[in-house]
């Protein structure tokens, strides 16, 4: 690990590509496989203590990007620099040493917990994996402390996941991620399976924990109102490509990409009169297949402003000022 300055990014991703080889139905053994470009050249940085929101429709590569960063799926190309080390080029043993520094919280809170283990065992497991020299007494103490911090009472420590609600299971998942005191947590749609009132509680808990522990977060979600509430910056993905990266306030006030405009226009407004009078930007057609993406700009087939150049050249992510980067020929 290299020495890092406080102003250096904690995580730096450059030209990350995750491609899958897909065999066609009924194809002969010698027939070439199709290539699904789930993530196709993504660049971004994550600073210490920052929350980067990642938004986009289903199938745009958000979860695949997160899993590639964690080396849960193999990357085709690119670099993922973590505290000066390229996670994609180091050995499995070296990667395991880094895993206690970066943790994940998953979408389905119940499915991410082992049903045969008590919640005390579930939260203790990362400690026993990454800190095998810890004494049992110290492990139990740290487990009780972190469960108490996320709102799970000590007398519940010997219960099993099915005895808890969805919101409680997600709190247990957060405790499991926090118990090793990581520097970064990737939250892969952690509130999408929860009721709205419970969503707010979990989001507020994450924000409190981030401030207390100095955590950096990558927060993946469909709901742009949730992302706005928690994020410092927001990255918009479409078919595995970055359409826009911007400061949160700037993105919602003046979106730079037509796709971002469409996503924001679909966010409900609490005021009934404002909601009834607002203009919703409806996108033509369905999301194209990532097996056969459009040429040039991947968004052009649904963009109301598309021109000939959009079909001919892929737009580069360029700086538009005010911390805003946009990949669009026309903006």
Q: At what angle do helices 136-149 and 166-178 cross, to 10 degrees?
A: 130
User: Mean of the pLDDT values across residues 221-230?
Assistant: 86
pLDDT at 258: 93
User: Mean of the pLDDT values across residues 247-273?
Assistant: 85
Highest mean pLDDT among 22-26, 264-268, 291-295: 291-295
- Least confident stretch, 25-29, 49-53, 217-221: 25-29
- Least confident stretch, 8-12, 82-86, 134-138, 189-193: 189-193
Average pLDDT along the chain: 90
Nearest CA to 87 among 10, 7, 143, 167?
10
Residues whose CB falls within 8 Å of the CB of residue 229, separated by 6 or more in sequence, listed in order: 203
Residues whose CB falls within 8 Å of the CB of residue 129, separated by 6 or more in sequence, listed in order: none
pLDDT at 32: 77
CA–CA dist 276, 303 (Å, integer): 24
Nearest CA to 154 among 124, 119, 126, 195?
119
Element (H, E) at 203: helix 196-213
User: Mean of the pLDDT values across residues 177-198?
Assistant: 91
User: Mean of the pLDDT values across residues 169-192?
Assistant: 94
Q: Residue 198 class from Cβ within 10 Å (0-12 exposed, 13-18 middle, 19+ buried)?
A: middle
The two beta strands, 34-46 and 11-22, are antiparallel
User: Mean of the pLDDT values across residues 57-62?
Assistant: 91
pLDDT at 289: 87
User: Mean of the pLDDT values across residues 225-252?
Assistant: 93
pLDDT in tens, 139-175: 999 999 999 999 999 889 999 999 999 999 999 999 9
pLDDT at 6: 61
pLDDT at 277: 67
Q: CA 327 from chain center: how many Å?
A: 20
User: Mean of the pLDDT values across residues 3-13?
Assistant: 79
pLDDT in tens, 282-293: 787 788 888 889
């Amino acid at each position: 690990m290299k020495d890092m300055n406080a102003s250096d990014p904690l995580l730096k991703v450059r030209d990350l590509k995750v491609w899958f080889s897909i065999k066609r139905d009924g194809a002969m053994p010698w027939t070439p496989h199709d290539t699904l470009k789930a993530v196709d050249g993504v660049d971004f940085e994550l600073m210490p203590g920052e929350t980067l929101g990642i938004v986009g429709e289903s199938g745009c590569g958000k979860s695949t990007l997160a899993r590639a960063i964690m080396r849960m799926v193999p990357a085709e190309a690119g670099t993922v620099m973590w505290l000066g080390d390229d996670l994609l080029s180091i050995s499995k043993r070296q990667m395991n040493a880094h895993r206690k520094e970066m943790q994940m919280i998953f979408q389905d809170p119940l499915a991410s917990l082992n049903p045969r283990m008590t919640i005390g065992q579930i939260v203790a497991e990362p400690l026993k994996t990454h800190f095998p020299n810890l004494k049992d007494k110290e492990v139990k103490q740290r487990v009780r402390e972190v469960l108490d911090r996320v709102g799970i009472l000590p007398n519940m420590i010997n219960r099993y996941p099915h005895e808890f609600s969805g919101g409680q299971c997600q709190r247990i998942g957060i405790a499991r991620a926090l118990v090793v005191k990581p520097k970064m947590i990737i939250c892969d749609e952690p509130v999408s399976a929860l009721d709205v009132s419970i969503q707010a509680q979990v989001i507020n808990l994450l924000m409190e924990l981030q401030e207390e522990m100095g955590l950096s977060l990558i927060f993946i979600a469909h709901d742009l109102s949730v992302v706005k509430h928690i994020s410092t910056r927001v990255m918009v993905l479409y078919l595995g490509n970055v359409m826009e990266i911007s400061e949160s306030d700037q993105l919602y006030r003046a979106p730079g990409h037509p796709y971002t405009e469409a996503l924001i226009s679909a966010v409900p407004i609490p005021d009934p009169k404002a909601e009834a009078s607002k203009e919703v930007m409806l996108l033509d057609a369905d999301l194209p297949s990532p097996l056969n993406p459009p040429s040039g700009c991947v968004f052009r087939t649904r963009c109301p402003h598309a021109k000939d150049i959009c079909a001919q050249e892929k737009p580069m992510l360029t700086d538009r000022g005010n911390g805003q980067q946009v990949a669009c020929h026309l903006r």
